[in-house]
Amino acid sequence: MNTQLLLIQVFNGLVNGAFYALLSLGLAVIFGMLRIVNFMHGALYMLGAFTAFALGQAFGLGFWPSLILAPILVGLLGMVLERTLLSRLYGLDPSYNLLLTFGLTLLTQDLVKQFMLSHYAVSSAPYTPPAALAGVVNLGFVVFPKYRLFVIVLSLVICLLTWFIIEKTRVGAIIRASTENPTVTRAFGINVSKWVTGVFGVGVGLAGLAGVLAAPIYSVEPYMGAELIITTFAVVVIGGLGSILGSVITGFAVGVLAAVGSALYPPIANTLVFILMALVLLVRPSGLFGLPEGAK
Amino acid sequence: MQKKTLSALVATAALAAVTGALAQSVKLSDNVVKVGVLTDLSGVYSELSGQGSVKAAQMAADDFMAANPAFRGKVQVIGVDHQNKADVASNKAAEMIDRQNVDMLVDMPTSSAALAASEVAKNKKVVAMVVTGGTTALTNEKCNKYTFHYAYDNYMLANGTGSAVTKRGGKTWYIIYPNYAFGQDLNRQMTAAIQENGGKLVAPSDATPFPNTDFSSYLLKAQGLKPKIFGTMQAGADLVNVVKQYNEFGLKNQGIGLGIGLLFETDVAALGQDAFAGAIATVPWFWNLDARSRVWAAKFEKAFGKKPTWAQAGVYSATMTYLQAVARAKTDDSDAVVKALEGYSFDDFFARNATIRPQDHRVILDVHTVQVKPKAQAKEAGDIFTRVSTIPAAKAFMPLSESKCKM
């Protein structure tokens, strides 16, 4: 493979990287703050895509309004689930919330499938990029879809914004305090459980956002999150569980690596990330950006 | 009043006489012919076969009983979910045969599940008619006395699409295929068909992971290679992703056409037919092929609420062909039915100029290369295909000289 082709694939890999980054960012926020391993993240990503489709069908809303509305709706659903179900499992072994979120995943997938079949007679939904971003642009070294460039830029902005809020602002300070020492934080008059619900909603909303962004690129079908979530978990592990910066950087890096890998030797494309995960775990068990247990 | 009673009596007597005649002339095990539709009722193929296949088999049973008074009330249809898994297909097939006394299995999407069920059919000496499974192994190294392969197979797809597209000027190809039995087989067959017609591959075919959502790497590679045709052997949800991204990357405007290995009406519906417009594929049938087809399709739509896919139409035809063989053999004893099927030539709304080859049990029939219409040209909902050409039965399928079947 020549240098130009390699460059093209590096560039192309940033698109998938953007999805990995957005999804693992949500997982990292939720795990870092709340210690919940949210296995339902893939299903919520799928719900983001389907909500965008449904909003279009029911209210004629195009891509842009859906890009704002669908993540909010998915985030609200997440908050309801956190209040009614997940909150009952705090303090129990993490495997309980893993089982719960896994069960919710199966339920969501089947409900969406049944809904689609009964309303639209197909279980996969058509969705095209907005008119302003349709078509391709010649970048000189490659002809690339405009929409994919937009995905790279937008997800970079969102990732930086999230990182900034959590690390550099007062809101972020409260969130971090609420999760590191809830008792002391409560003593300062802060309603910790409300913050927890809010953080979960935002993390899940990020998955919904990724789903809307994915709708014009990938087939919108009930199981679209199932494959992706496994890679995303690998990204989170490589980056370091709960590390926000780690998940963003690793997300983009894994996307690039997989794209280059699949161009060089296609059969390895899907395995590459797991090989990387195994290697990283051998050398740094807490992940590239994770702090070793007890360091906090 | 008296007259009415009398005629009722006469009618009853006449019916009894007919039934008596049946008892003498037709020998049915446990007095019924039971058809088992082994299908995918919940997974990825449930839209293209599934409940629609069960309905199609039931329609065949009803039509057969209406036309053959001797069998009235004696044909039953049941549908069972094999979840596209070989082990489940094997268990369910055995259970249907042993516990529910099924005389014949039909449909069987997913090649691995079809092969597993065919093995059970062989061991238990029950007729299996594979309609929706595509692997050519069923009539080659894995062929057996009780298995028949209906409607289509990978050789027919490759031979049809590969030849048609290459002859229409698609001389240079770049192919991707999902890395499992079905995709590998289809890639081999397609490559051979392209080369036989004077075309060539501009680069070796790429095996992609299965399942897979992102095909951008291969589309970018195609941009660089500039073949006339980008060939995809993907199916179902993977195919939808490939085609969606093919459009996104604007390959058509760069002069790179689309060649599709296996296409079902449901894939086109999932993405909208404009996304597929211009693509060429090979199918054994489609609902608005001609007047005969439309009549049956209208009947199906009335009963099921949706237009039939070619898989579901194939299930009707296969079930009917089996039942007619039972009628000719005057028994549902499988050895006698197999004998009645072998070498049989027929013609129905689905299978034209059809013959059942005794040597490998391949059911050969006329097949059609079709092109997907743009939405603007569709005259009604579901009007998606334009017929490009018809390949006569004798040329559409693997010639016997190439078959590895030893029965």
B267's tokens: 């894939």
pLDDT of the residue at B11: 55
pLDDT band at B20 (very low <50, low <70, confident <90, very high): very low
pLDDT band at A1 (very low <50, low <70, confident <90, very high): low
* pLDDT per position as a tens digit, A207-226: 999 999 999 999 899 999 99
pLDDT of the residue at A241: 84
C-alpha to C-alpha distances, A110 to A22, A44, A178, B46, B205, nearest whole angstrom: 25, 13, 36, 13, 35
Report the alpha-carbon distance of residue B283 to residue B326 in Å, rounded.
28
* pLDDT per position as a tens digit, B352-376: 999 999 999 999 999 999 999 999 9
Query: Phi and psi for B280 in degrees, rounded to 5?
Result: -110, 140
CB-closest option in A117, A147, A270 to B209: A270
> Which H or E run contains B339?
helix B334-341
pLDDT of the residue at A169: 94
Closest CA to B80 of B111, B60, B102: B102
Question: Which residues on B lie below 8 Å from A226 (Cβ)?
Answer: none
* Cis amide linkage into residue B211, ω under 30° from 0: yes
Q: Where are the alpha helices (DSSP H) in B68-153?
A: 86-100, 111-124
pLDDT of the residue at B10: 55
Rg, chain A, Cα only: 19
Q: Within an 8 Å CB–CB cutoff, is residue A231 touching chain B?
A: no
Indicate whether this complex's ipTM tops 0.95: no
pLDDT of the residue at B3: 54
pLDDT of the residue at B5: 58
pTM of the full predicted structure?
0.85
| pLDDT above 80 (res B16) | no
How many CA atoms lie within 13 Å of B239's alpha carbon, on the beta-carbon side? Answer: 26
| Secondary structure tally for chain B: helices H, strands E | 14, 16
CB-closest option in B212, B248, B253 to A147: B248
Spell out where B277-383 has E strands.
280-283, 345-346, 354-356, 363-364, 367-372
Stretch B133-142: mean pLDDT: 93
Closest CA to A59 of A76, A45, A46, A73: A73
**DSSP structure class, residue A266:** G
**Quick check: A206 and A71 in contact, CB under 8 A?**
yes
Stretch A66-82: mean pLDDT: 97
Closest CA to B314 of B85, B37, B95, B90: B37
pLDDT band at A296 (very low <50, low <70, confident <90, very high): very low
Question: Which residues on A lie below 8 Å from B214 (Cβ)?
Answer: 16, 218
B375: closest CA of chain A, how far (Å): 14
Spell out where B248-291 has E strands.
257-260, 280-283
Amino acid in the structure at residue A100: L
pLDDT band at B6 (very low <50, low <70, confident <90, very high): low
Question: Which residues on A lie below 8 Å from B207 (Cβ)?
Answer: 266-267
Closest CA to B18 of B65, B87, B77: B65
* pLDDT per position as a tens digit, B309-319: 999 999 999 99
* pLDDT per position as a tens digit, A85-142: 999 998 888 889 899 999 999 999 999 988 988 888 778 888 999 999 999 999 888 8
pLDDT of the residue at B323: 97
pLDDT of the residue at B1: 43
A243's tokens: 């590390």
pLDDT of the residue at B38: 97
